[in-house]
């Protein structure tokens, strides 16, 4: 594969308990695999989130998902594999890690993914941490990326131009705009911002986030847009929901109203679709014509 675009997927370790091994990923269509997650200690060292899944279970004839991914990478040398550290629910210790030179150096020996700064001081430390990690794991032998939310309340704290000097990719999470934490129902991953008045929680959009990042000097060829497969995996959606989904082209969203179940459901289909895309998660995708990973690959290959 000689394509310069990014068509990436996350593989969460807990998918192995649902019978979805790394070998289920569509290797011929993807460029990067982000393995989720490792956790970070306050001294900067890493620990496994699930040692059983990571190193002990028999997976695809190997011992643990780590060994399996290494084998699959040897069989598919075009794919880059990265370890994703912390995740949204495990990043509380990152500000303290980034604030200490010694702890940053400890982290930099093993880390790949970094934190969400909440203040300008944390944003400055974030860039220091990127710099230390890049020095310990230099390109092109290694790749350094970070996953960040769309909200300017996080992004404004980071000097994105300086961060770009150290990063190979910025994975911009174009999802989780609405959910149980918002006051009203809304699209979880709308491409464009709706017009008119409305709840502030519904004003987020992928286009606004991308424009903001680019306006701060971050290069488009390092920016990757995230596609969700959230509360319900895409492959678990009833076929009726996908077939009868309503498409709002003005917002770039798809939804289905199910009065007997979840009510309003927002998701992506191949008809909605920088440097490329990433999918949370690759293991939640379907195969065939309805595959989001395949749809992204086809669009990026044009």
The domain limits of the chain are 6-230+270-301
Nearest to 171 by CA among 245, 113, 121, 100: 113
Residue 260 pLDDT greater than 50, yes or no: yes
Nearest to 296 by CA among 278, 275, 274: 278
- More confident of the two residues 148 and 242: 148
- More confident of the two residues 114 and 154: 154
Instruction: Determine the pLDDT at residue 114.
Output: 43
- pTM (two decimals): 0.62
Mean pLDDT along residues 248-253: 68
Q: Provide φ and ψ at 106, rounded to 5°.
A: -65, -45
Fold of 6-230+270-301: TIM Barrel (3.20.20)
Residue 147 pLDDT greater than 60, yes or no: yes
Mean pLDDT along residues 82-95: 80
Helix or strand holding residue 8 (H, E): strand 6-12
Would you say how long the chain is, in residues? 302
pLDDT tens for each residue of 184-235: 666 777 777 766 555 555 667 888 888 999 999 999 999 998 877 655 666 7
DSSP letter, residue 215: H
Task: Give 212's contacts (C-beta < 8 A, 6+ positions apart).
Answer: 152, 155
Residue 258 pLDDT greater than 70, yes or no: no
CA-to-CA separations, 180 to 131, 177, 185, 201, 257, in angstroms, rounded = 36, 10, 8, 12, 17
Residue 107 pLDDT greater than 60, yes or no: yes
Mean pLDDT along residues 111-127: 72
Nearest to 189 by CA among 279, 252, 123, 271: 252
Q: Is the Cβ–Cβ distance between 194 and 202 less than 8 Å? A: yes
């Amino acid at each position: 594969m000689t394509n310069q675009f990014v068509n990436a997927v996350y593989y969460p370790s807990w998918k192995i308990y649902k019978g979805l091994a790394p070998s289920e990923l569509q290797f011929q269509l993807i460029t990067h695999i982000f393995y989720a997650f490792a956790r970070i200690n306050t001294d900067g060292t890493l620990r496994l989130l699930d040692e059983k899944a990571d190193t002990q279970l028999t997976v695809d004839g190997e011992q643990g998902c780590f060994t399996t991914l290494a084998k699959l990478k040897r069989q598919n040398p075009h794919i880059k594999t990265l370890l994703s550290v912390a995740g949204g629910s495990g990043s509380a210790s990152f500000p303290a890690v980034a604030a200490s030179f010694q702890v940053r150096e400890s982290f930099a020996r093993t880390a790949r993914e970094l934190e969400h700064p909440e203040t300008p001081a944390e944003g400055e430390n974030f860039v220091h941490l990127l710099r230390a990690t890049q020095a310990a794991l230099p390109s092109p032998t290694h790749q350094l990326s970070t996953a960040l939310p769309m909200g300017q309340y996080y992004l404004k704290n980071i000097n994105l131009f300086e961060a770009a000097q150290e990063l190979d990719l910025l994975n911009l999470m174009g999802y989780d705009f609405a959910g149980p934490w918002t006051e009203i129902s809304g699209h979880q991953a709308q491409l464009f911002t709706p017009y008119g008045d409305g709840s502030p929680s519904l004003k987020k959009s992928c286009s606004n986030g991308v424009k903001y990042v680019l306006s701060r000097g971050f290069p488009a060829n390092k920016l990757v847009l995230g596609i969700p497969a959230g509360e319900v995996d895409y492959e678990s959606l009833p076929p009726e929901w996908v077939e009868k989904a309503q498409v709002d082209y003005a917002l770039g969203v798809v939804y289905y109203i199910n009065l007997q179940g979840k009510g309003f459901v927002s998701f992506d289909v191949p008809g909605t679709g920088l440097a490329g895309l990433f999918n949370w998660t690759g293991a939640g995708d379907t195969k065939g014509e309805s595959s989001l990973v395949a749809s992204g690959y086809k669009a990026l290959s044009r």
